Amino acid sequence: MKYLGIAKKEAGQIIIDTAGKLGEGDYEVIEIGEDILLIPAPLDRRRLAYIEKLADISIDEHRQTLERLAK
Task: Answer yes or no: are the C-beta atoms of 21 and 2 closer than 8 Å.
Answer: yes
Query: If 0-12 CB within 10 Å is exposed, 13-18 middle and 19+ buried, where does residue 22 land?
Result: middle
Helix (H, G, I), strand (E, B) or coil at 71: coil
Angle 14-38-12 from CA coordinates, rounded to 5°: 20
pLDDT of residue 66: 94
pLDDT in tens, 28-71: 887 777 777 777 788 888 888 888 898 889 889 999 999 999 98
Judging by DSSP bridges, how do beta strands 27-32 and 35-40 pair with one another? Answer: antiparallel
